[in-house]
A and B are shown apart, each in its own frame.
Chain A
Amino acid sequence: MGLNKEQIAARIAKELKNGYYVNLGIGIPTLVANYIPEGVNVILQSENGLLGMGPFPFEGEEDPDLINAGKQTITTLPGSVFFDSAMSFGMIRAGKVDLTVLGAMEVAENGDIANWKIPNKMVKGMGGAMDLVAAAKNIIVAMQHTNPKGESKLLPRCTLPLTGVGCVKKIVSDLGVFDVTADGFVCIEHAPGVTIDEIKAKTAGKLTIAADVKEMTV
């Protein structure tokens, strides 16, 4: 039994540091906002043009003009600011966003990421993901360790069209936490109830188990 989506999000939230500007992608990354640790102040960037994204509105207070990059209705906070898409990606490109969290279909042992297209089958488009991964200082991927067929999504090389090259720094999957290093994936934490053997069996890319690997606290 690995982590559920909420637990993956909660673990990623522990990586947030006071003062960070953070961009959270669609899916599990969005949930990270619910687990920001007490005393840690971060400002959430939504690439459709908002810094200082607040929680969902109360029922009846939804505003169609106020959405996040996942097209969900949201709110602002004191100090929020709106801007256009060019400035939004300007600040991303200029490296002002400290941390990007996004989902992936595949991650390679060298940090390549694929998450926008399965040729002839599915095309979602890259949206802002290519801009974000090309420029963000720190990229954490939130993902299931294997696909629905049980095949590893942590690979020697990506098989799907790439979103970015050599950019992923860390992965939090349902099975554990992995640094992406010059030496491939390094398992630094395993999920409760998940054995190192299971992680090894489900990781196709080069994997090292950290000497001080520990069980994740959830």
Chain B
Amino acid sequence: MSLSQYGVPRSLRDQTDSSGERAGLLQSAGANSGRRRVVVTGMGMVGPLGLGVENVWSRLIAGESGIGRITHFDPSDLPAQVAGQVPEGPTAEGKLTLSDWVPVKDQRKMDRFIHMGLVAATEAVEDSGWKPQTEEDKCATGVMIGSGIGGLQTIYDASITVHEGRAKRLSPFFIPSALINLVSGHVSIKYGFQGPNHSVVTACATGVHAIGDAARLIMLGDADVMVAGGAEATVCPLGIAGFCSARALSTGFNETPQQASRPWDKDRDGFVMGEGAGVVVLEEYEHAKARGAKIYAEVIGYGMSGDAYHITAPAEGHYGAFRAMRSALKSAGITPADVQYVNAHGTSTMADDLELEAVERLFAEDARNLAMSSTKSATGHLLGAAGAVEAMFCMLAIRDNVAPPTLNLDNPSRESVIDRIAHTAQQRNINIALSNSFGFGGTNASLLVRGV
């Protein structure tokens, strides 16, 4: 295969010599021997499909969509008018009643993305049953929850206050409400977690980077437990208008919102923004076993790369994605044949086919046995929260041996031997799954999880 046919810049061709790009994949077994193992013992999520991991998962598997017309504000004067918004209503119905999670008096001190992060983190921590009592245990428990953008609506509101000449009336909570690392801050304060307190900001790759980096902190001994994930709430005028200007959002399905997110379909015309958060509790394996914790999955591999190409577009051939996935396999010491499911980045943009191509090239003959879907077809794109939510979908796919569907994949723009699970979920034997997330700036992250 000739790389020049893609018009790939010389610098990228240098990174991927065509004879040796898969080299090393089959000889990497044992790369992880002897290191501290990291497992997932708690999960929490809130998003367009609702509140709570089991609720969201069952709706996803049932083929439901969380996309609708924007109701947070009047979108009539914008070209994109659909989004995935968190449904409000009784907690018992799997919907969000914020006061059940964040005290009313504290709500106005935080942007909505922090609300989202707190909801998901609370569910995850409660689910894990990890309640450190001693100073030692509290100091061995850290938090790494990121966001792609942070408090955009808060910044918008504050700008108006200043613009109106009322700068002295700016709330003292403006800065801590907008800062991205304040989800981690609030979670640590709520639970007394005094270990590493960190935050990731890598646009749409944030969620995967947060889980991958936090797992490494545990492997390296900086912590025994890490609460990790991503949160986002940019379904606001500035967020929608900004991505509209970048020509990134779907605009052709305003009358049929549930058809707007259609990864790999020939009629796709941009991504659909979603809001929400996903948080996991990562724990050192022996630590989890010793306290009899429920274990969802093990984080066995993590790979990162940079495109060094363009601020918003991946290069032809998506070599950055390829290298991130290859690194993840290498760090896990497994081969492509060991992977049964890929949760694609698949945003419903032109880049979908580039990711597909990169997966095909990496998996080669093993691509025939692979299931790959894009759950963004049902949730929209949760930006900085997407990778965390989708990593959990991978763990649930392993637990239940089900590949979640790609909705609206009526006519693929490109044929592939890879089963993209169009329309309905499929029972598949899944033991190892890979989650991809790629972000503006040309940042790529892949996470590998395995059933325990």
Q: Do A and B interact with each other, yes or no? A: no
Binding site for A on B (CB under 8 A): none
Binding site for B on A (CB under 8 A): none
